[in-house]
Structure 1
Amino acid sequence: MTEARMLPPGVMIAAPRSGSGKTTMTLGLLRALKRRGLAVQPFKCGPDYIDPAFHAAASGRPSFNVDSWAMRWPVASKLLADASHGSDIVVVESLMGLFDGVSQRGHWGNGASADLAAATGWPVILVLDVSGQSQTAAATARGFQNFQDGVTIAGVILNRVGSQRHVRFASEALEASGLPVIGALPRNAHLELPERHLGLVQAEETSELDDRLNALADFIEANVDIDRILQLARPGSIAGGDRARIRPPGQRIALARDAAFSFVYPHLLEAWRSAGAEIAHFSPLADEGPDPDADVLWLPGGYPELHAGLLANAQRFKSAVREFAQSRPVHGECGGYMTLGTGLVDAEGGRHEMIGLLGLETSFAVRKMNLGYRKAELIESCPLGIPGDVLTGHEFHYASVLTSPDAPLFRLQDSDGRPLAQNGGASRGMVTGSFFHLIDTQG
């Protein structure tokens, strides 16, 4: 990597841990900046389907995930440059705690949000949950300073403050440590967004979303010095290099898209389109079949378990997918994989008949969380590639596998390089699927 490219001014909203208030701060800031007439570009660190959809609704621009473990740097750098082009300011929401990642490095880091801050030079605004403490917050924040080369902590926002006295005690200690306090957010349960087992309820399913985002923006405007954030934002820069590409699964892709099937990373769609592929959406929940002119069918992840009864009765959809699979490739990721199976047992124990192109039976009656980065080597040809190709991505689901009699699709490893005997997906004829969510290739 030689040539450097400049990026717009930006900040990263980060915290010591999950649940500190990053998403509330990020969404309110995005909408507040948009209301000021600024073109604000959001990004999300790490694997996450749900937060970026809220970012897009708040900002009016698509939000993209950037991941230092699973995503090659040329892919990430092109994404950062292309997506932020024409924006006035960039706002990045971090994942978990700022320095949290895995033990082994991936493509250019270990998956920590700090990797992106260091790679771009965008400063970090630290959100601190100070409930149950005051001056001790300064010791926490001091620990973030100089912890990783290239990461700058530019300021602090206090969250869940109880009183002005509480704010004063924490602020005096922080500012004595050289960290400006640029906001203090009082406790406000009315602003919390609804959640379910994979995180927030999806943006498209959240009632009165625009009103909720405006309320968040009002809350942030009232309690945070947004002008100060604009002053603290710094232009970023990224090292250039060859722009690696991600091969699309086909020339014309029939892509399921509705409340049950919505988990597709925006950078993949952009990569497929920029490679010349066409994407034809259809809705299984509306009992629609795939585009008959498509050369590949992709069923993404989502929440089929919440719509299992409707999918079981979507006879036109199921028969159209079966017919498609007789002559053309069909691939399912996570929720799409479960839908290609024979049956899905919901949380109440009711079994629903799925498409039956794979022998997979899954259940949510006994939930088991499966979470982590994955490296997947293909055993069989499929829309993802040919045998021997290595892909990087992740797994995140609560389904239990009751039976999976088909040939495996992958040889899977976790982020430590340990082989995983289970969840290697399935392959039967033209149909493949797995719980693996694609982010990038090995390169």
Structure 2
Amino acid sequence: MKGRFYVVGGAVRDALLGLPASDRDWVVVGSTPEELVAAGFRPVGRDFPVFLHPETGEEVALARTERKSAPGYHGFSFHADPSVTLEEDLRRRDLTINAIARAEDGSLVDPWGGQRDIQARVFRHVSEAFVEDPVRLLRLARLAARFTDFTVAPETEALLERLVADGEVDALVPERVWQELSRGLMEARPSRMIELLRRCGALARLMPELDRLWGVPQPPEHHPEVDTGAHMLLVLDMAARLQAPLAVRWACLTHDLGKGQTPAELLPRHIGHEVRSATLARAAGERWRVPNPCRELAEVVAREHGNVHRSGEFGAAAVVRLLERCDAFRRPQRFAELLLACECDARGRTGFEDSPYPQRARLTELFEAARGVDTAAVAAAAAERGAKGPQIAAAIQLARADAVGARL
């Protein structure tokens, strides 16, 4: 076939940065859908012509241009035919560092200065069309969390603010927000994603309960960073440092949301913020259709993190009640994630980054002691004594407390 094939996007960018190879996306110039199908490519695109390579399974798209036709990231019409040039296709991309193409002979086509911006470690938009797609704001925030030595060009930051002011961010659908947000949370410095979203005003539209944390004080003897928003960013980056899974990172993001609603007369102590935080975490999870494991962990972390921090003062009975509230006996893996989130919270404070967190090891050990109780035997013995329902549950709770007390 007569079309010319180029690798484009992230694979070219990452190779120039010396990073491991990522999935390759291809664009073909000077061809038609009919020619690709005749060559064995399988069509999969619904909105514009995308095909799967018959041997590698990699995506191949016809070079195309696009025009804004409605609000949101779905509001585009596309034009693809053999007359569309590679430069025109690259011009519709978001950032210069993603608008570099590599020909089959290895030569680079870089009409928009992507290599220059890679050297300078700058995120820069390709054209004013950047403001037509609100997903680009989310993607840039995610890339900021991944490429921690890059900065955003001032003129690009101004376009981010325009995206918010024009209401394009409000047209984002929950699934796409979560897709980009979850990927950003798993990067090396997720705090940079949140900071960028806040700076351009997008955070106030997407998660106003999170945006409200900035400027809210905390007791300086416990939080040298004082500001609740600053604390949350430290907690989030600690989760990345400890290589926490996604559910833990989402819980770290939402664990203190209730502090943004603390009445002025209760500042800076935030009495009762845990219940408010759990309610707000649940609402945020529902709004963005966060997967259930992430939602459920976030709620229990928000509700119980203060008790976990104070658990060194608990006796055996109080420890067992904490384990039961956390549903640890039915959900041991989630309980382990809860303890990891609490360690991130404790160490996500200025000057405490390398401090030990004995509560995690202690509660893990006490949980194992309580879990070792033969509850079936305890229940059978209680039933023989005539116990029923709540009395049997109380006998099991007492046996677990005895096991925890023996370990203490």
- TM-score > 0.5, shorter chain as reference: no
Bigger Rg, structure 1 or 2: 2
State the TM-score, normalizing by the size of structure 2. Answer: 0.25
Q: Going by fraction, where is helix more abundant, 1 or 2?
A: 2
Q: TM-score, normalised on structure 1?
A: 0.24
Q: Larger strand proportion, structure 1 or 2?
A: 1
Comparing both chains, which one has the higher relative contact order based on Cα–Cα distances under 8 Å and sequence gaps of 6 or more?
A: 1
